[in-house]
Amino acid sequence: MSKVKVTKPKSSSLDVSWCLNLLKKNYPDAHCALNYTNPFQLLIATILSAQCTDERVNIVTKELFKKYKKPSELAGEDVLVIEQYIRSAGFYKNKAKNIKACCQILKEKHNNLVPKTLDELVELPGVGRKTANVVLGNAYGIASGVVVDTHVTRLANRFGWVKIVDAVKIEQKLNAMFDESEWIMLPHYLISHGRAICKARSPDCESCFLATRCPRKGLS
């Protein structure tokens, strides 16, 4: 009587270290997709990135940053003028209002400088934990927490690391799962993979280097 082949059940989640090593290997050039040259520019670009592609934000900020070099300049601008610069970034009225108010606080309270603490950043109009983490990690090299965007949310759930969609709770989970030294770059690796292979509507599981252990292989 021939032996029955026993197939080991697939794990409910991807091994963290194994996955991270492969992401690093396959995306060695992963980086923040927003164009900036200083913390102020990154802050404004990240505020603009809400519900907007990084590509569109980079088009908008190219002209915006030519005219406005520091917070005090945007703080003193008419909000209607700011709206015209950022109109194509979506939700431009609310974003323009937040940008002006944010820059006013930077001018009056922070001497035209972007603060280096999470608590101070989230007090600024238009700035939540995600934006604060982006600025601290990429502009200052301060690991305040894993940035959680739509790509990170999708992949963290598909990989079985979390079963939630609340960004703050996902950040807390990932912060606990990964060493602090990985917090800044982890989202860049996940975002790169989310854009290249593990897309929202049509993930290319057949080409995925994580497929052998992924609990959601074959997801339609």
Over residues 132-159, the pLDDT tens digits come to 999 999 999 999 999 999 999 999 999 9
Per residue in 73-117, pLDDT (tens digit) is 999 999 999 999 999 999 999 999 999 999 999 999 999 999 999
Distance CA 69, CA 103 (A): 11
Residue recorded with tokens 């700035």: 127
| Residue 4 included in any domain | no
pTM of the model: 0.91
| Residue 214 included in any domain | no
Q: Which of 149, 169, 173, 199 is the catalytic position? A: 149
| Residue 1 included in any domain | no
| Residue 60 included in any domain | yes
- Same domain, yes or no: 51 and 87: yes
Phi and psi angles of residue 10, each rounded to the nearest 5 degrees, phi first: -70, 140
Name the residue range of residue 198's domain.
16-30+145-207
| Counted domains in the chain | 2
pLDDT for residue 24: 98
pLDDT for residue 218: 66
Residue recorded with tokens 């270290």: 17
Distance CA 37, CA 92 (A): 23
- Same domain, yes or no: 135 and 195: no
Q: Which of 100, 107, 130, 173 is the catalytic position? A: 130
Residue-by-residue DSSP string for 37-71: SSHHHHHHHHHHTTTS-HHHHHHHHHHHHHH--SH
Among 115, 140, 165, the domain boundary falls at: 140
- The answer to whether residue 149 is catalytic is yes
| Residue 114 included in any domain | yes
Yes or no: say if 155 and 193 are a contact pair by the CB < 8 Å rule.
Answer: yes
